Structure 1
Amino acid sequence: MKMIVVTGMPGAGKEEFLSAGIDAGVPFVRMGDVVREAYAASGSEKEGMTVGQFAGNERKIHGTDIWAKRAIERMYGDIFIVDGCRSMDEVRSFRSLGADVRIVAVHAAPSVRYDRLVKRAREDAPHNKEEFDTRDSRELSWGVGEVIALCDYMMINMASLEEFHEKSAALLRSLR
C-alpha cells in the first residue's frame, strides 16, 4: 500500500490538498473526523471538554498514536491518503503496516491560516488571535512541527486556490 500522509498547521490547506486526492479517486480518511466522531460518541462535550482537549486526553490514556491506530481501521486499497497527521508516533504507526509512506506537509503563513480558520467558521474556529495561538501551541506540543520538518514534500499554499489545486494534483500524479 502507498500511503500519503498529509500534515500541516490548522488552516494551512490540508483539506484543499485532500480535495485534489478526492478528485483523483484516491480513498482517504481525515484524522480530524475520527477524532470528532469519537468525541461526539464520548459525551465529553457534556463534561465541558473541547474536541482538542478530548484528543489530547485520549493520547495520554491510549498513547500518542491512538488516532493513527483508529484511522488505520478505515484504510483500504493500493493507495490511501491520511489527512491530519500530528506526530512522528503516528507516522511510525502507519509505517508499521509495511506501507510506502510519503509525508506531504502543507504550509501557509500564520496570518493567512488565521483568516482562513475564521472564514470557514467551523465549530473549532478561533474567536480571536489568542485562541489561534493557543491552538497552534497545542498542535505543536503533539509533535506536528517535527512531522512538518521531516516531510518528503512541502506544499506552500499562499497563492490562489486554483494554483494550489494544480500543484496538489501534479504531486499526487507523481506519487501514484
Structure 2
Amino acid sequence: MKVVGVVGYPASGKGEFSVIAGQLGIPVVVMGDMIRRKVIENGLELTDENIGAAARNLRAELGMDAVAILTAEEIAKINPNIVVIDGIRGDAEVTYFKSVFSDFSLLAITASFETRLLRMKNRGRSDDTTTPETLRSRDEREESFGLSRAVALADMRIENESSREEFAARIRDYLESLA
C-alpha cells in the first residue's frame, strides 16, 4: 500500500489537496476527523478551542503519536492500494507512519501566514480563526505538537500561493505521478 501523508499549517491547502485526491478516486483519511469525533463523543461544539483541547488531551494521555495510531486503524479498515493521510501535525506522527507503512512519503503544502489568514477569513469553518493573533496562537499550538519539525521532514513540497487552478494542476500532476 502506498501512503501519502500531507502536512502543512492551517489553511495552507491540505483540504484542497484531499478534495482533488478524492476526485481522482484516492481514499483520504483526515486526521482531524479523529479529533473531531472525540469532541462530538464528549458532547461539545466543534470550536477551535474544543478541538485544540481534545488534541492536547489525546496526546497527553496516549502520546504524541496518538492521532496517528487512530488514523492507521482507520486505514486498516479500508485497506486501499493508495491512500492520502490529511493533516499530519507532528514529527512523532511521521515517525509512527514510517514505522507501520513501508511505502510512506510525506508531502508538505506551504503558504504564507498572510495567505492562510485570508483563506480562513473567507472559508467560514466553525474552527477557523479570523485575526492574526488567533492564527498565531493556533500555529503555536500546532507547533507544540511538532508541526514545524514534520514539515522539515517532507520528501516533497508544493507551494500554494498561486491561483486555485494552478495549485490543483500541481496536485493532479503529483498524484498522477504516483500511479
Shorter-chain TM band: over 0.9
Give the superposition deviation at 1:169. Answer: 0.6
1:49-128 map, 5 Å: 50-75=50-75, 76-128=79-131
Structure 2 partner of 1:16: 16
The partner residue of 1:153 within 149, 153, 156 is 156
Give the superposition deviation at 1:43. Answer: 3.4
CA distance in structure 2 between the partners assigned to 1:98 and 1:133 by the alignment = 33
Structure 1 partner of 2:6: 6
Displacement over 6 Å in runs of 4+:
none
**Contact 1:5/1:81 (CA < 8 Å) preserved in 2?**
yes
CA RMSD, 1 decimal? 1.2
Give the superposition deviation at 1:132. Answer: 0.8
The secondary structure found in structure 1 opposite 2:121 is helix
Give the superposition deviation at 1:44. Answer: 5.1
CA distance in structure 2 between the partners assigned to 1:98 and 1:50 by the alignment = 31
**Contact 2:120/2:130 (CA < 8 Å) preserved in 1?**
no
Runs of at least 5 residues in structure 1 that lack an aligned partner in the other structure = none
**Contact 2:38/2:54 (CA < 8 Å) preserved in 1?**
no
Give the superposition deviation at 1:100. Answer: 0.6
Matched residue type, 2:16: E
Structure 2 partner of 1:26: 26
The secondary structure found in structure 2 opposite 1:80 is strand
1:37-48 map, 5 Å: 37-43=37-43
Deviations 1:121-166 (A, max 9, x none): 1111114221111001111111111111110110000001011011
The secondary structure found in structure 2 opposite 1:29 is strand
Q: Compute the TM-score of the two structures, normalised by the length of structure 1.
A: 0.94
Runs of at least 5 residues in structure 2 that lack an aligned partner in the other structure = none
Q: 1:98 to 1:32 in 2, by over 3 A?
A: closer
CA distance in structure 1 between the partners assigned to 2:88 and 2:52 by the alignment = 14
Q: Compute the TM-score of the two structures, normalised by the length of structure 2.
A: 0.92
Deviations 1:92-116 (A, max 9, x none): 2212224311101000000000010
Matched residue type, 1:65: D
CA distance in structure 1 between the partners assigned to 2:57 and 2:39 by the alignment = 11
Give the superposition deviation at 1:86. Answer: 0.8
**Contact 1:44/1:54 (CA < 8 Å) preserved in 2?**
no
% of aligned pairs identical?
35
The secondary structure found in structure 1 opposite 2:127 is coil
